[in-house]
Every structure is written in structure tokens, then in C-alpha cells.
Amino acid sequence: MEGEEKMKSEKEKMLSGEVFKVNGSTLVVERGHARRLVQSFNELGEDQPAKSRALIRELFGHVGNGCEVHPHFRCDYGYNIEVGDDFFANYDCVMLDVSPIRIGDHCLLGPRVQLYTINHPLDPRLRRNGAYGQSFDITLGNDVWVGGGSIICPGVTLGDNVVVGAGSVVTKSFGDNVIIAGNPARIIKKNSYRE
């Protein structure tokens, strides 16, 4: 009828940054598909690199040239992950890609790096049983190196040539050419390297 708005699906709400029901039927199916691909990837280990690369290409939304991901890897959907050329993720990385995770060229993720786009409401009634979520994109520029054990929180953007010290918790965005570290991460010095 005229004047009536179409109801958004839970997936549409998720992708637009609105509060959404985590267990919407389409989302459950899509997470299940991604988990099967991730399980297959992790079971391959490092003995069959061509098959591993093929599974990552099937899982991720975009993969540039020269992508290498070590097992064990975890993600929610896969299709929300875009990586540029010459990407490397070391062992045990987690990318909770409820919103898009965009990673530029020549980026390195150390072991056990975690990128979380998902957040949950402050209202405890909406958090019970993980019923509702809200997500915010993560973007890493070109030539970013995230040290082992670091956590990148929802909504963070890091500019080009950023180095994140091992074990950091990055709760806000930073521009180009900085070295950040700590919990919460802060600028510890400028990264003056130039080609």
C-alpha cells in the first residue's frame, strides 16, 4: 500500500549498522555456510596451499593478489571481508565480519589478531542469549602491520603505514604514518618511513 515502508530484513539491518536480531533465519544459514568453509580451510592445515587459497577466495568477498592466511582462522560470514594485494594473516586470527572489514594492500596481521565489527546493546534485556547486535565497519589502509594479540574494535579506521604494537586494544581511529600501542592504543610516535 502507498505510504507503507517495506520492513527491513535482519540482514539489511545488520549491514546498515542498525540493531538487528542475530539469529535471523538468513543470517543463521549464511553463518553456517561460512563455518563449513572455515572448518574445511582449517582442516587442510598448511599441506595443501593451493586448496587453502581457493577456499579463502570462495570465503572472502574480495581477495587481491598474493593472499596468505594461516590456520586456524575464524570469521562470521566471510563475504564481508575484503583484502588487497600482498595480504598476510598469521596463525589464529579472528575476523568477526558482521559489518565489512576492508584491508588495503601490503598488510600484515600477527598471530591471534582479532578484528571485531560486532557490538551488542547496552540494555541487558537485548543482550540476553546474544539476541541482538549492532555492527560497525573496520578499515585498515595500505601497509598496515598489526602486532600479535592485538584487538581492533568496531568502527575503527587505521590510515596508511600504521603499525600497531603487539597486544594493543584499538578502540578509536588513527590517521596515516603512526605507531600506536597500549590499552587503549595511543600514538607512541610518528612512523617516518618513506619509500
pLDDT above 70 (res 83): yes
Percent with pLDDT over 70 in the chain: 95
Mean pLDDT for 132-143 is: 96
Catalytic residue list contains 70:
no
Percent with pLDDT over 90 in the chain: 84
**In this predicted model, what pLDDT tens digit does every residue of 43-52 receive, in sequence order?**
998 889 999 9
Please indicate whether residue 45 or residue 114 has the higher confidence score (pLDDT): 114
- For residue 1, the model assigns a pLDDT of 46
pLDDT above 60 (res 3): no
Catalytic-role residue among 33, 70, 72, 120: 120
φ/ψ of residue 187, rounded to 5: -70, 125
Residue 111 is which amino acid? P
Nearest CA to 152 out of 172, 179, 177 is that of 172
Q: At 66, is the pLDDT very low, low, confident or very high (cuts 50, 70, 90)?
A: very high
CATH, domain range 18-190? 2.160.10.10
**Contacts (Cβ under 8 Å, ≥6 apart) of 73:** 38, 41, 42, 89, 92, 93, 94, 95
**Which helix (DSSP H) or strand (DSSP E) does residue 181 occupy?**
strand 178-182
Mean pLDDT for 97-124 is: 95
Mind spelling out the 3-state secondary structure of 7-63?
A: CCCHHHHHHCCCCEECCCHHHHHHHHHHHHHHHHHHHHCCCCHHHHHHHHHHHCCEE
pLDDT above 60 (res 57): yes
In the chain, where the domains are located: 18-190
Mean pLDDT for 132-140 is: 95
Q: Provide the grid cell at 51.
A: 586448496
Q: Does residue 19 contact residue 120 with C-beta atoms inside 8 Å?
A: no
Integer CA distances (angstroms), 182 to 7, 150, 151, in order: 43, 9, 11
Q: For residue 154, how many other CB atoms are within 10 A of its CB? A: 20
Q: Provide the phi-psi class of 86: left if phi over 0, else alpha when psi is between -120 and 50, else beta.
A: left
C-alpha span between 69 and 136 (Å, rounded) = 23
Q: At 195, is the pLDDT very low, low, confident or very high (cuts 50, 70, 90)?
A: low
Mean pLDDT of the chain: 93
pTM tops 0.85, yes or no: yes
